[in-house]
Amino acid sequence: MVINKVAVIIGAALVGTMPAQAEDVFWSFPQSTSGYAEGISDNGVVAGSGLAGYFFWTVADGVEAIGGTPPGNGFGGQGKIANDGTRVCGAIVNPATNLSELSLYDVATATWTPMGGIGGSSGAESSSGWSISGDGQSIVGLGWVNGGTAHAIQWTEGVGVFDLGSTVGGQSSRASGVDLDGNVVCGWQDGNGRQGAVWLDGVQVLIWADAGVPAQEALAVSDNGAYVTGIGYGDFVNPGMTYRYDTVQDLYEAIPNLAAGGEQNMAGAGITASGSTIVGGTWAWGVPATFGTAFIWREGVGTVPLADYLGQVGVTFPPGYNFSFASDISSDGRWITGWGGFGFAADENFVVRIPDSAIFSDGFETGDTSEWDAVVP
């Protein structure tokens, strides 16, 4: 089932002397029938989670529930998806342990496989999956050491689950994002607030905004492993800014909040393959991100509301539609998903296909990743 499909024809008036492009479209579907959209593949397959478990969505078939342990009530996880749309991460109860575990869903066989934990549990959970690598061969998340402490963990095909550890004794950590092939992982480390952290080939590096000022939690890694983005919390006087952290040069770059409409908190939730484009949202203190404003940041251009960007590139969407938060962008920049709607708070998921004529230069769009080895060891 396709809901609120709006055809978009990109004409010569929008693209200069370039010929008219094929149809590009906007879709939305109620969160009440699915949950929250959390990831999108390079072929436009959306994954996410809600009260009933995990789901994926396609243009052809709409929402399909796929089960799994619903996040919340003592359980964690996100429905992220591999670049080719064939694998989804999350969590499911392992019948052998009766505990919810970091798990892999295979779309072709419609099966979940629990992958275990690192020996501990909290309540009925031993581990949870929060992101999947672009190649689908690695899942990262959280594993319980004991009932009160958890560590960032990573599962890799053919290797299994291993503990990424914590650099602060007795404190927890979590992995929230991973690059194309699992070599660069990002997340947070407790002990100085939830400080942003990266694991480069399994070795943790903390992210600092300035000397002695910790960056806040990291959420996503570019496929080439060169850049990480995350959350910036502000106050009533100074709106927060998200960031782009250069993992190779150990450099923190603040990404300015929206000049108009920017609120206290700002999160970069999705990043393209080479890290030149970031999407996310800003929202006010005391309310969830579903009450906010989605943004897109492009290198050399800056931060603008997502609605403005879509209008600039000729994507038509229903009048009065509010884009509240962009939860992910495909690695090639052609698909964006997130939360929106017509009310005060988002109650729908949206999916946007960007016209080919408007695709920003992001590099590595042909699938040739040979240059990446020169970027990240």
Per-residue pLDDT for the chain (377 aa), expressed as one digit of tens each?
333 333 322 222 223 322 333 455 899 999 999 999 999 999 999 999 999 999 999 999 999 999 999 999 999 999 999 999 999 999 999 999 999 999 999 999 999 999 999 999 999 999 999 999 999 999 999 999 999 999 999 999 999 999 999 999 999 999 999 999 999 999 999 999 999 999 999 999 999 999 999 999 999 999 999 999 999 999 888 899 999 999 999 999 999 999 888 899 999 999 999 999 999 999 999 999 999 999 999 999 999 999 999 999 999 999 999 999 999 999 999 999 999 999 989 999 999 999 887 764 444 343 333 333 333 32
Under a CB-based contact definition with an 8 Å cutoff, are residues 107 and 113 in contact? Answer: no
Q: What confidence score (pLDDT) does residue 251 get?
A: 98
| Residue 175 forms part of a structural domain | yes
Sheet holding 203-206, edge to edge: 173-178, 184-189, 195-200, 203-206
Which residues is 54 bridged to in the sheet? 49, 67
Q: Domain of 335?
A: 6-355
Alpha-carbon distance of 231 to 177, in angstroms, equals 13
Contacts with 66 (C-beta within 8 Å, 6 or more apart), sequence order: 53, 54, 55, 56, 88, 105, 110, 112
Greatest Cα pair distance, the chain, in angstroms, is 63
Q: Is 364 among the domain residues?
A: no
- Whole-prediction pTM value? 0.90
Domain annotation covers residue 365: no
Domain count of the fold of the chain: 1
What is the pLDDT at residue 237? 83
Residue 361 within any structural domain of the chain? no
For residue 246, tell me if it sits in a domain. yes
Query: For the range 146-150, what are the long-range contacts, defined as Cβ-Cβ under 8 Å and sequence gap of 24 or more?
Result: 146/120, 146/122, 147/120, 147/121, 147/122, 147/123, 148/122, 149/120, 150/120, 150/122, 150/174
CATH code: domain of residue 83: 2.120.10.30
Q: Which two tokens stand for residue 128?
A: 């949870």
Q: Do 142 and 175 form a contact (C-beta atoms < 8 A)?
A: yes
Burial 157-187 (b: 16+ CB within 10 A, else e): eeeebebbbbeeeeebbbbbbbbbbbbbbbb
Judge whether 11 lies within some domain.
Answer: yes
